[in-house]
Structure 1
Amino acid sequence: MTYITSAWAELGGDPALLARVSTVVRADALPARLPVRELARACVGVCALAGAELGARRAALARVPRVRVDDGAVAVSFTSERRLLVDGRAPVAFAPLSRFWRTADGWVRTHANYPHHRVRLLRALGLPGDAAPTAVARALAGRAALEVEDTVHAAGGLAVALRTPRQWTAHPQADAVAARPLVERGRLDGSRARGFAPFDGGPLLPAAGLRVLDLTRVLAGPVATRTLALLGADVLRVDAPHLPELPDQHADTGFGKRSALLDLSSDRRTFEELLAAADVVVTGYRPGALDRFGLSPEALAERRPGLVVAQVSAWGAYGPWGARRGFDSLVQAATGIAVLEGGTERPGALPAQALDHGTGHLLAAAVLRALTEQSYDGGSRSVRLALARTAAWLTGGTEAAGDAEAAGDAGRPAGSEPGEGVRMDEGDGKGMTKKEEPTADAGGLRDAGPWLAGTDSPLGRLRYALAPVSFDGGPRDWTRPPGAWGADPARWL
């Protein structure tokens, strides 16, 4: 079964509609040992097909519009955070303490892009708040990787030990992840079928007139809501005032959206007013973190029947790691992907944050399919995805992962040495990255120009990646650029 076939089946889609999808294959896109290009293509393909299906339903079309997936557009979009330019300035991708580090018995991967995560990491290591990367390297060199993982987690920070695929398979969280479907879908009540307002001409916008309350951060959730905004939704991202977003990250994922600040602990009335008029709520915080505010799917649907609630997390909302924070880079390290893409002596990385971008497009697809299903037989709906489950889908399960691991460093391209093709940046804080080939860019393409665009915005002149979701009659670009973080009022248009 191909990736797109299995993904569409997970979404509950009619298999006959897959005949409406065509692909422009580009062999140089997203080069990796694992089938990253195929997974990314499938995630975008089912997202576009779900949008085309809903658009056809709303416009009463005789046939679902044709979907075209171009590997070039997918590769550029999946590296959008590296494509962005703000007034000609390249974005800041990773902070100095977000990277792989040598430990006494292996490697550990940390994530400290946000200031509060940096503080917690240094505190866990017994270091001052102004500690340099060299001090962190010394502190970690004498410790065991699993000890660092546990200590930093206990302090509220983010660090995971590098694991091989077999080591991850033996972990109880891997068992919990493997027991779940790629896309968890549920019906929460028996509310009536959803009705849609008619289109008023222009592009076919499947999500036109729908209000999406965006409670997400980094990166899968914002990618999902950015995609829904492309397809016509009124997306309002709401953040807590005390948790500012990273400026470049906000610029990359803020296209088509508005951004407001709201303290849920002191202004519940405003939130309830937003919820009362929302059609979709998307959450991307650590599982359980929002439950105290009454934001579980069941509680939300009880107050707003007919709602679609979409959730995304790093490790899944189950198992011993269900309540842990996580990011794409950490999931790659823990699940064995970093070993498969590099080795135990020099961990590697996927050519893009494909777990984030892929899961984000799957999440948007799940929302669109839930809306289509609602139009036939109603019911509040819940959908849930996890980066670790997407990682298991990418690696193909324990047998395929074991075969790849057994190859080890012998699986490297002919003529290369262990570690060739990656760079260990000890001083510049960028961690481990793929070495750029002189004739290819970050996504493996020789020319990314056709899938890049420019626009003026409140943040400055932006160069950005165009959306890869494309179907006949559909939108080609977002209708508004990102604005300043928190600059919009907390109300619907």
Structure 2
Amino acid sequence: MPSPDPAATLAALWRVTGLPEAALAQARLSGAEPVLPSSFAVGTAAQASLAASALAAAALWQQRTGRWQQVAVDMRHAIAEFRSERYLRVDGGPAPELWDKIAGAYRCGDGRWVRLHTNFLHHRDGVLRLLGCANQKDEVQAALGKWDAEAFETAASDAGLVVAAMRSFDEWDRHPQAAALRELPPVVIERIGDAPPMPLPDLPAQDARPLSGVRVLEFTRIIAGPVAGRTLAAHGADVLLVTAPHLPSIAPLVIDTGRGKRSCQLDLRDADDKHTLHKLLHGADVFLQGYRPGGLAALGFGPEAAARARPGIVYVSLSAYGHVGPWAGKRGFDSLVQTATGFNDAEARAAGSDAPRPLPAQVLDHAAGYLLAVGAMAALHRRATEGGSWHVRVSLAQTAQWLRGLGRIEEGLQAPDQRIDDISDLLEAVPSGFGMLTTVRHAAQLSETPARWEQPSVPLGSDAAEWLPRGGAR
């Protein structure tokens, strides 16, 4: 099988955005597959999606200054950033545990597999109630032995839980959700309202970056959405992460993806906090959200309501399975979408195994994160000249469809894994609100405005729910 062409992959992805074709001449891609043990083009996906996000920043820079700048991305560095949560160290030691003890794949009574995602306590407790067993892997396995895989997937989904039955590519292709997504690009950018053209604010005289003065309201958790916010922050945006005290979070992901952001807490069930969010929305350029489909809309902050309240808003939505089709409202995470859409089965077959084999990184999460950032910047670019309010949509399942379309890597599973000692040259030590962090540097190198995070990761709720002055945005 011929290896995928990273430059062609980037060019095809770039044309979806509607951004200037001239930007592609500024891209410098290095490295080659395979970079991790996988039969899929995970390195190409990492390099192309990350490079697209950096080129989008360069396009905004050109729009604001009249000058292009070069963007260089090495595949080895890109895939390391796609595993940033794995390499995180806190004060020289391991980060807090990421996975719950019963999360993972189990064989059901019909011989098929399901994958459970139980990292949030309410999801774990719901699965245990549905199974009627204790919080032990052997008891979970025994209980699932009484279920058919797809029947349990359906029962769990009906209960608002996150479970996926393992399918082959052929089985997924016959599923109505796959049919609904088939014609969708990896990023959907739609105009949803009228507003006059809004060029980005004049760049400050010193220390200007592509997104200086841009304000981003972020409502996300886990990896994909937070990676998008982290990327926008790396190019100078003032990113304000909004959470609520009653919502669960996963400590190592908060630490890793919190770089470059301020963090406040608002409970949208409270009238005063809701009013505060309305004030923040009026000053925002981008509203980035990754909560369950319809969740924020039910609280009055869906895309149409945001566009009415703040004409010119760029509303960016992440979902698990897409915004169309019978699974449009279904919850999910990277590991589950990998399982449902055929990747775990295909990777297992390539390895000569019948047990589910996950990809060697949360590729769907990280790629979707960069695609969200690309879409946000593409919409800002169009808003500056065309005006309008915009809705950007990305889903993990669309991202999976894109990754699958990149082809397979012959002998890819023979590649060595990438250990933290192998990438020591790509790491940096930075102080934070959690201690001294060891993290992966941003993989995209911009020739005039190096990507960086000036705001350290901080505990949730550390900041006031207010914007910085436009001139002070990073």
How much has 1:447 moved relative to structure 2?
2.3
The answer to whether the aligner puts 1:447 opposite 2:422 as a matched pair is yes
Q: Which amino acid aligns with 1:277?
A: G
Query: How far, CA to CA, are the matches of 2:425 and 2:51 in structure 1?
Result: 19
How much has 1:51 moved relative to structure 2?
0.3
Instruction: Look up the match of 2:369.
Output: 360
The answer to whether the aligner puts 1:309 opposite 2:315 as a matched pair is yes
Q: Map 1:82-101; keep pairs closer than 5 Å.
A: 82-91=86-95, 92-101=97-106
Instruction: Look up the match of 1:428.
Output: none
Q: Which amino acid aligns with 2:418?
A: D
Q: Map 1:237-316; keep pairs closer than 5 Å.
A: 237-266=241-270, 267-316=273-322
Superposed CA deviations along residues 47-91 of structure 1, whole A, max 9, x for unmatched, are 111000101211232xx2111011122011100010101122323
Q: Map 1:20-419; keep pairs closer than 5 Å.
A: 20-61=26-67, 64-91=68-95, 92-104=97-109, 105-128=111-134, 131-266=135-270, 267-343=273-349, 345-396=354-405
How much has 1:31 moved relative to structure 2?
3.5
The answer to whether the aligner puts 1:469 opposite 2:473 as a matched pair is no
Query: How far, CA to CA, are the matches of 1:357 and 1:144 in structure 2?
Result: 31
Query: How far, CA to CA, are the matches of 1:441 and 1:155 in structure 2?
Result: 38
Instruction: Look up the match of 2:471.
Output: none
How much has 1:28 moved relative to structure 2?
4.8
Contact 2:217 2:281 in 1 (8 A): yes
SS for the counterpart of 2:312 is coil
Contact 2:320 2:395 in 1 (8 A): yes
SS for the counterpart of 2:139 is helix
- Which sits farther off after the overlay, 149-158 or 163-172? 149-158
How much has 1:388 moved relative to structure 2?
0.2
Superposed CA deviations along residues 363-419 of structure 1, whole A, max 9, x for unmatched, are 10111111111111211111101110110111129xx7xxx8xxxxxx9959x9xxx
Q: Which amino acid aligns with 1:156?
A: G
Contact 2:33 2:44 in 1 (8 A): no
Candidates 454, 457, 475, aligned match of 2:432? 457
Query: How far, CA to CA, are the matches of 2:365 and 2:323 in structure 1?
Result: 16
Percent identity of paired positions between Structure 1 and Structure 2: 38
Query: How far, CA to CA, are the matches of 1:29 and 1:221 in structure 2?
Result: 25
Residues 194/140 of structure 1: CA separation in 2 closer, same or farther (3 Å cut): same
Contact 1:82 1:93 in 2 (8 A): no
Query: How far, CA to CA, are the matches of 1:333 and 1:199 in structure 2?
Result: 45
Contact 1:125 1:152 in 2 (8 A): no
Superposed CA deviations along residues 290-342 of structure 1, whole A, max 9, x for unmatched, are 11122221110110011111111110122111111100000000000111111
Query: How far, CA to CA, are the matches of 2:201 and 2:126 in structure 1?
Result: 49
Unaligned runs of 5+ in 1: 405-410, 422-435
SS for the counterpart of 1:357 is helix
How much has 1:196 moved relative to structure 2?
2.6
Unaligned runs of 5+ in 2: 469-474
SS for the counterpart of 2:437 is strand
Instruction: Look up the match of 1:427.
Output: none
How much has 1:144 moved relative to structure 2?
1.1
Superposed CA deviations along residues 198-253 of structure 1, whole A, max 9, x for unmatched, are 22344551111111000111211100000001111111111122113111110010
How much has 1:26 moved relative to structure 2?
4.3
Query: How far, CA to CA, are the matches of 1:302 and 1:476 in structure 2?
Result: 33
Query: How far, CA to CA, are the matches of 2:249 and 2:25 in structure 1?
Result: 41
Q: Which amino acid aligns with 1:251?
A: I
Instruction: Look up the match of 2:472.
Output: none
Contact 2:222 2:254 in 1 (8 A): no
Query: How far, CA to CA, are the matches of 1:27 and 1:162 in structure 2?
Result: 27
Instruction: Look up the match of 2:456.
Output: 481
Contact 2:166 2:340 in 1 (8 A): yes
SS for the counterpart of 2:436 is strand
TM norm structure 1: 0.88
TM norm structure 2: 0.92
Contact 1:205 1:232 in 2 (8 A): yes
Q: Which amino acid aligns with 2:430?
A: T
Contact 2:42 2:79 in 1 (8 A): no
Query: How far, CA to CA, are the matches of 2:378 and 2:138 in structure 1?
Result: 49
SS for the counterpart of 2:231 is helix
Superposed CA deviations along residues 396-448 of structure 1, whole A, max 9, x for unmatched, are 29xx7xxx8xxxxxx9959x9xxxx9xxxxxxxxxxxxxx95xx425xx8721
How much has 1:98 moved relative to structure 2?
1.5
How much has 1:127 moved relative to structure 2?
2.0
How much has 1:141 moved relative to structure 2?
2.3
Contact 1:58 1:198 in 2 (8 A): yes
Query: How far, CA to CA, are the matches of 2:361 and 2:104 in structure 1?
Result: 15
Instruction: Look up the match of 1:426.
Output: none
How much has 1:159 moved relative to structure 2?
0.8
**May I ask how many residue pairs the two structures share in their alignment?**
455
How much has 1:116 moved relative to structure 2?
1.1
